[in-house]
Structure 1
Amino acid sequence: MATATATVELPVRADVVWKLIGGFGSLPDWLPYIPTSELSEGGRIRSLANPNGEAIVERLIAYDDTDRSYSYAILKAPFPVINYQSTLRVRETHAGKSSQVEWSGRFTPNGSTEAEATELFTGIYTAGLAALAKQLDTK
């Protein structure tokens, strides 16, 4: 199983960051790669579309508002992996004055090498967290 992780330090309180990214349907609020998100099954399934209109369907598998984290699995996506699970987490740093956001995942390459799949998701996570930092900088 392959893994990928990206982190970003933000000069913003963890509760402010979590308010923006903590909703399972909130990706379009901060991630330009995902322009739409529709929740179903009581908010446990999100149906996304990327800019090319390709469908991505994910299932929420764990949510912890106190820990400021959620984990999800991909059910359908145009990515060369299977058995994908990911976690998005916000941690408080510097006595609550700033935060660290970590986006990590594990997956089995399917139609790609482990290095290619790891590079793909590391790139997605890194670009996503850079977009988050930019979004929070403009508020």
Structure 2
Amino acid sequence: MASTSVSRIVPASPGKVWSLIGGFDALPDWLPYIPESTPLEGGRVRRLKNPNGEVIIERLVDFNETERHYSYAILHAPFPVNGYVSTIRVHTVPGRDDIAEVQWSGRFNPDNATGEEVTDLFTGIYRDGLDALHNTLTA
């Protein structure tokens, strides 16, 4: 099993960040490479489309409003992995209420790819996603 994790300090309070990203169906609000999200099964599954029209289907597997994190599993995607589970988490920064640390992590099994290839793929996705979040918060 391979894994990766990316963190980024963003210019907003943890509560404000969570209100933007904490909804399982909220990716289009801050992630430009996911312009479409359709909730299914009462909001426990999301059907995403990227700009190329590729479909990604993910299931919510854990959600904690108080601790500001959720985890999800990929059910279907154009990625060379299986067993994928990822977590997005918003952390407070001690002594600061005007910034937050956002961590996006995942673990997965390579499928017709090397561990390094899929780790690099998801490290890039998480990094670019957190950069997009930062840009959304400063726009």
TM-score bucket of the superposed structures, by smaller chain? over 0.9
Q: CA RMSD in A?
A: 0.7
Contact 2:22–2:68 (Cα < 8 Å) also in 1: yes
Query: Matches of 2:11 and 2:74 in 1, distance apart?
Result: 31
Letter in 1 for 2:127: T
TM-score normalised according to structure 2 size: 0.97
Alignment map for 1:1-139 (pairs within 5 Å): 1-95=1-95, 96-138=97-139
Residues 67-103 of structure 1, C-alpha deviation per residue, up to 9 Å, x if partnerless?
0000000000000000000000001114323110000
Letter in 1 for 2:27: L
How far off is 1:43 after superposition? 0.5
Aligned length: 138
Stretches of structure 1 lacking an aligned partner (at least 5 in a row): none
Query: Matches of 1:124 and 1:75 in 2, distance apart?
Result: 18
How far off is 1:47 after superposition? 0.2
How far off is 1:12 after superposition? 1.1
Query: Matches of 2:124 and 2:99 in 1, distance apart?
Result: 24
Query: Matches of 1:104 and 1:129 in 2, distance apart?
Result: 11
SS in 1 for 2:3: strand
Contact 2:63–2:71 (Cα < 8 Å) also in 1: yes
Residues 2-61 of structure 1, C-alpha deviation per residue, up to 9 Å, x if partnerless?
001111001210000000000000000000110100001111000000111011000000
Larger CA deviation: 120-129 vs 2-11: 2-11
Query: Matches of 2:51 and 2:6 in 1, distance apart?
Result: 22
Letter in 2 for 1:116: E
Runs of 4+ in 1 over 2 A off after TM superposition: 94-97
Letter in 2 for 1:4: T
Percent identity (aligned) = 54
